[in-house]
Each structure stands twice: as C-alpha cells, then as structure tokens.
DNA sequence: GAAAGGATCCGCT
DNA sequence: GCGGATCCTTTCA
C-alpha cells in the first residue's frame, strides 16, 4: 500500500492499472469500487498521448495523480487517471457503493449493475465533466482510497479502439457483475 | 477554412 | 445483437 498518491501513479500505466482494481473512487461523496480499467501509454497508437502534446491532451504530459477528462464522440465524458511518462488509465466501470440515490436520479433510475458499466455512464453517474480536467485526485471533490490488496483479475484486449487492439491492457475484477462487457475466455 | 474520425450509448429488431 | 445519433479535436489545404 503506497500512501503517496503521486508516487503510486508515477509509474507505467500498465503497472498502475491492475493495482487500481478494488480501489474506491468518490467524486463529491458519490462513487464506488473500480472493477474495470484500461491502460494507455505514448508508444501506443491508440493513446491520446501518441501524437505528442496538444491543447486537448496536455494534462497527460503533466504531473501524475491528476484527472484527465475528455469528450468522446461529442457527447460522453471519459475519466482517466494520469500516470508517469505521459501514460493514463481509463476508468471503464465501477461497482457503485456511495450515493446510489443521486446516481439513479442522474442516470434515470437504472439497476445498480447499469449505473457505472461504461466510461460515459460512469461520468454521468458521478457528475464528472470537462471542468474536472486536470484536477488533482488527492483533493476535493475527488477522494481516492487505494485497495490494500488485489483480488483475482482478468485481462484482455481493449474496447472501442481501432489501433493496437492486440495489446491486452484491459483489466477487470474476475467475475464482477459490474463490468461494461464480459471478458472473452475465463470469466465466472 | 473545411473535413474526417473517434477510448460510446441508446433504442429498436 | 446491430446501427444511428451527435459534436469536439485534430489535421490538411
């Protein structure tokens, strides 16, 4: 258990990503356990940091332990945690534990499994927008509690990208009902 | 200045 | 299970 968030995130995204599984993320008191993530790094054609710094992705090239929030397909927001060396971990799914009422109100009274089972849905449920881009994960409104130990997890190819699909940098808690999509092969 | 593409979600079949 | 909606960012002329 690393107490310093900056030290925790200042490593390669593919190392940080699986260790985030089981951690608790709260935004203004609303959130839950992380059950699914994906890693991206600058040598990866599918990563936003691959082409180099731009006005949109400049946060990825800044200090670690910050939130990188960007708009996807013009309508959804996606939440990333910035790691060392211009890498990032995309938060894909949560198991909701805090603020269920508020999430249901924002999401239209869906079942718990559907509240945070996807990057765009997750941000809507927690109320995260582009205004949170670049904010520190160590200060309000964010509250991040790292897991004391990792349970079993599964890996697989990442979702929704057209380049470097063969890199298995998707990580999920084994057997969780809150994943955005099931993992091919061993899930139970 | 203009055009193309994208780390997705929702509704319908 | 599949296809459309929707708009911001980047790239090129």
Concatenating the DSSP letter of every residue in A65-76 gives SBEEEEEETTTE
> Which class would CATH give A5-173?
alpha beta
Q: Nearest residue (Cα to C1') for C8?
A: A74
Span CA (A69) to C1' (C8), Å: 13
A117 touches strand C (CB under 7 A): no
The predicted structure's pLDDT at residue A185: 56
Residue ranges, chain A, pLDDT below 70: 1-3, 185-188
Q: Nearest residue (Cα to C1') for B5?
A: A73
Q: Nearest residue (Cα to C1') for C7?
A: A74
The predicted structure's pLDDT at residue A187: 45
The predicted structure's pLDDT at residue A110: 86
The predicted structure's pLDDT at residue A72: 92
Give residue limits of the domains in chain A: 5-173
**Predicted TM-score of the model (pTM):** 0.94
pLDDT in tens, A102-141: 999 999 888 899 999 999 999 999 999 999 999 999 999 9
The predicted structure's pLDDT at residue A81: 97
Q: Which nucleotides of B are covered by protein (CB under 7 A)?
A: 5-10
């Amino acid at each position: 258990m690393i107490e310093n968030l900056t030290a925790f995130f200042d490593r390669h995204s593919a190392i940080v990503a699986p260790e985030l599984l089981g951690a608790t993320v709260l935004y203004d008191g609303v959130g839950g356990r992380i059950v699914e993530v994906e890693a991206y790094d600058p040598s990866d054609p599918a990563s936003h940091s691959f082409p180099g710094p731009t006005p949109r992705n400049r946060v990825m090239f800044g200090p670690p332990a910050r939130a990188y929030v960007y708009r996807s397909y013009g309508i959804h927001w996606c939440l990333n945690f910035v790691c060392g060396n211009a890498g990032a971990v995309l938060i894909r799914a949560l198991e909701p534990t805090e603020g269920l009422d508020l999430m249901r109100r924002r999401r239209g009274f869906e079942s718990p499994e559907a509240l945070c089972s996807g990057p765009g849905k997750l941000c809507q449920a927690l109320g995260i927008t582009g205004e949170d881009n670049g904010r520190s994960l160590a200060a309000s409104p964010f509250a991040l509690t790292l897991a004391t130990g990792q349970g079993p997890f599964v890996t697989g190819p990442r979702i929704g990208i057209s380049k470097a699909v063969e890199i298995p940098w998707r990580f999920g808690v084994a057997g969780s009902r809150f994943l955005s999509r099931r993992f091919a092969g061993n899930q139970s």
